Amino acid sequence: MLSEKDNHLLTRIECDAPMGHMLQDCFWVPAIRAGKLERDGAPDRVRLFGRDFIAFRATDGRVGFFDEACPHRRASLALGRNEGNGVRCIFHGWKIDVSGKVVEMPNEHRDPERMCAKVKVKHYPVREAGGMIWVYIGERAEPPRFPDFEFNELDETQNNITSSTINCNWVQGLEASLDDAHVGILHESHMSSYKAKHMSLYEGPPPAYDINLTRYGFEAAAIRHMPDGTTASAITHFAMPWFGFVSTAVPQVAGTTRRVVFVAVPIDDVTFKQWFFSYDMAGPVEKFFGGTANYDQDDICPPLGDKSNNWGQDREAMKRGHATGFTSNLLAEDTAVQMSMGRITDRTHEQLCSADKAIATARQVLLDAVRAHQKGETPTGAHPDIDWRAIRAWTVQDDGANDWREARTYPLQAAE
């Protein structure tokens, strides 16, 4: 369990919260799927850390990322016209070009050129990579090094990006991606259809965890001694500050290239955006949960409701044998239990067990990082020499004679 003070430090990211300040100051944020932005199309609202922005693709293909409020009278630029490599506010016609300069001010009759030069617009550095628009919203004159994960070199045919907005704190989403022990229990019914595809790993005993701290976070091996005498190790990575590289639970086969990354990005203190990167380094990748009814790449989890309807749980389906009553897809199960914990769960009353070692470690890494940042030190994950591209989850199943580390397919970036 955590103290009330530590839980507050861990979870709060709005206004002057230390965690929010560190996350914005030290890290690039995955903000919006690149395919949502059309040249001269409607600006798209983006909310991060309790702050409101717009993103738009200009006439020449560049991406602009501004505060949503027009610097004149604070009207929403999401209502604006995207034209001629800039956004024009529909209220008084002020036009801001994609680089963040006011270039037209139709309602200024004295000296519009001088006034345009005088007005400062808050705009932010962006990078387009791997089908995602990333933004740096911190205050540094020079942004931190961009995290060049291997999926950032792929196009949308090889990197399928989906997302869901979840009404609870971002740490609850992050913890779910690191919790290997819940998969075979919460997702029992949905995973039954995968048993023929070697998903038997989660039918084994609960895992024992072995963790290595790294410069980017940690690697966690969930080790199960299977009934057939083999040992199965699913290696997950926590990459600061919100990336969960998860095993597909299929024993590693030479040449396997499909991988999945969960990303929990704070919208505000009580809402987060769950991103899913499903990618294949070798070729085209299938849609993530592509069989979902009414598939929406930007809202992959079906509507659930709230506490008043038990988030849409179907108790009749449970009577017929479904483990949870969330029959649409397993993401609904994750989302429902995360929201059922409360908007910001009270960790002072938790009773953790050995299966929660990865979650407890992630909390400690985040808390140590924010305290380091408060002291002016470089937090874990913000060192410029991290090899982000080498991070990938994997699974190995063998006779257990060798340590799982001996099958590692990437260099260990040990913590200092």
CA distances from 64 to 6, 45, 145 (A): 37, 12, 20
19 inside domain: no
**How much is the pLDDT for 193?**
61
9 inside domain: no
The greatest distance separating any two alpha carbons of the chain, rounded to the nearest whole angstrom, comes to 84
Question: Are 334 and 248 within one domain?
Answer: yes
Whether the CB-CB separation of 374 and 350 falls below 8 Å is answered with no
Choosing from 135, 169, 189, the residue where a domain stops is 135
Tokens representing 297? Answer: 């790449």
Whether the CB-CB separation of 238 and 408 falls below 8 Å is answered with no
Number of domain units in the chain: 2
Question: Are 171 and 65 within one domain?
Answer: no
Q: Nearest 5 degrees, angle CA 210-CA 323-CA 302?
A: 90
4 inside domain: no
415 inside domain: no
11 inside domain: no
271-280 and 258-268 beta bridge pairing: antiparallel
CATH number of the structural domain spanning residue 77: 2.102.10.10
Beta bridge partners of 110: none
Distance CA 360, CA 233 (A): 19
Q: Which domain holds residue 212?
A: 155-407
Choosing from 104, 135, 166, the residue where a domain stops is 135
242 inside domain: yes
Helix (H) or strand (E) holding 395: strand 394-398
**How much is the pLDDT for 289?**
77
119 inside domain: yes
Question: Are 213 and 129 within one domain?
Answer: no
**φ, ψ for residue 165, nearest 5 deg:** -95, 125
Helix (H) or strand (E) holding 261: strand 258-268
Q: For residue 354, count CB atoms less than 10 angstroms from its CB and return exposed for 0-12, middle for 13-18, buried for 19 or more.
A: exposed
Count of positions (residues) in the chain:
416
Question: Are 121 and 189 within one domain?
Answer: no
CATH number of the structural domain spanning residue 397: 3.90.380.10
Q: For residue 208, count CB atoms less than 10 angstroms from its CB and return exposed for 0-12, middle for 13-18, buried for 19 or more.
A: middle
Q: Nearest 5 degrees, angle CA 203-CA 206-CA 210?
A: 125
| Full pLDDT tens readout for the chain, 416 residues | 799 999 999 999 999 999 999 999 999 999 999 999 999 999 999 999 999 999 999 999 999 999 999 999 999 999 999 999 999 999 999 999 999 999 999 999 899 999 999 999 989 999 999 999 999 999 999 999 999 999 999 999 999 999 999 999 999 999 999 998 888 788 888 777 655 444 456 666 788 999 999 999 999 999 988 888 888 888 999 999 999 999 765 544 445 578 899 999 999 999 999 999 999 988 998 888 776 767 889 999 877 889 999 999 999 999 999 999 998 888 899 999 999 999 999 999 999 999 999 999 999 999 999 999 999 999 999 999 999 999 988 888 888 888 888 888 788 898 87
Question: Are 166 and 129 within one domain?
Answer: no
245 inside domain: yes
